[in-house]
């Protein structure tokens, strides 16, 4: 019976990310960012993280996105990210990625230089969700790491501000 339950757990689609036992919060977002960084480095090799130069105050705007998928550094994509503030605490995000113009959206919070976003998107058959944490170097540049439900490998993104206006 044990082996049957094990197979059920392995092959049952997950509805949320179970990478951490607790939610990402302002208390642990920096720690979670570094956990993703170390997981990324163990999968793809070390990268140097730029140092945050100042605490960011205003990150709303349109950003160019450059990144790669979890399974390979050469599985690259580019696109746009629009960040807007819903209220003092919540940011809304909308990505337009790749040749196909895949739309992803999410919401999250900013704490010091760390922006956490819970995102989701849909393809032709399924709905997916994940978490991304960006570290803003300044108000124009950020680096981030992301994971998706059921895929515990880590992807990478860089953001460069295109404009603050809409």
pLDDT for 135? 96
Residue 98 sits in a domain whose CATH number is 2.40.128.120
Site of tokens 């998928």: 69
In this structure, is residue 7 part of a structural domain?
Answer: no
In this structure, is residue 63 part of a structural domain?
Answer: yes
Distance, CA of 15 to CA of 148 (rounded, Å): 10
Distance, CA of 58 to CA of 16 (rounded, Å): 30
Mean pLDDT by 10 residues, the chain (166 residues): 50 47 90 93 90 86 91 84 90 88 91 95 86 94 92 90 82
Q: Which domain holds residue 36?
A: 22-46+53-163
Distance, CA of 96 to CA of 50 (rounded, Å): 25
Q: How many domains does the chain have?
A: 1
In this structure, is residue 3 part of a structural domain?
Answer: no
In this structure, is residue 11 part of a structural domain?
Answer: no
Beta bridge partners, 121, equal 104, 128
| Torsion angle defined by CA atoms of residues 50, 159, 59 and 163, in that order, rounded to the nearest 10 degrees | 130
In this structure, is residue 98 part of a structural domain?
Answer: yes
> Do the beta carbons of residue 155 and residue 70 sit within 8 Å?
yes
pLDDT for 4? 56
pLDDT for 87? 81
pLDDT for 122? 86
DSSP state, residue 31:
H
DSSP state, residue 56:
-
pLDDT for 158? 96
pLDDT for 31? 94
């Amino acid at each position: 019976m044990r082996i049957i339950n094990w197979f059920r757990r392995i092959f049952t689609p997950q509805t949320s990310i179970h990478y951490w036992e607790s939610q990402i919060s302002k208390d642990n977002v920096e720690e979670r960012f570094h956990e993703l960084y170390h997981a990324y480095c163990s999968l793809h090799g070390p990268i140097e993280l730029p140092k945050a130069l100042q605490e960011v105050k205003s990150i709303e705007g349109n950003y160019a996105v450059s990144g790669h998928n979890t399974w390979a550094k050469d599985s690259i994509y580019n696109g746009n990210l629009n960040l807007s503030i819903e209220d003092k605490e919540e940011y809304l995000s909308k990505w337009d990625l790749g040749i196909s113009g895949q739309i992803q959206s999410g919401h999250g919070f900013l704490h010091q230089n760390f922006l956490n976003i819970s995102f989701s998107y849909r393809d032709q058959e399924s709905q997916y969700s994940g978490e991304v944490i960006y570290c803003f170097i300044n108000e124009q540049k950020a680096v981030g790491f992301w994971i998706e439900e059921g895929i515990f490998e880590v992807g990478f993104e860089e953001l460069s501000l295109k404009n603050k206006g809409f």
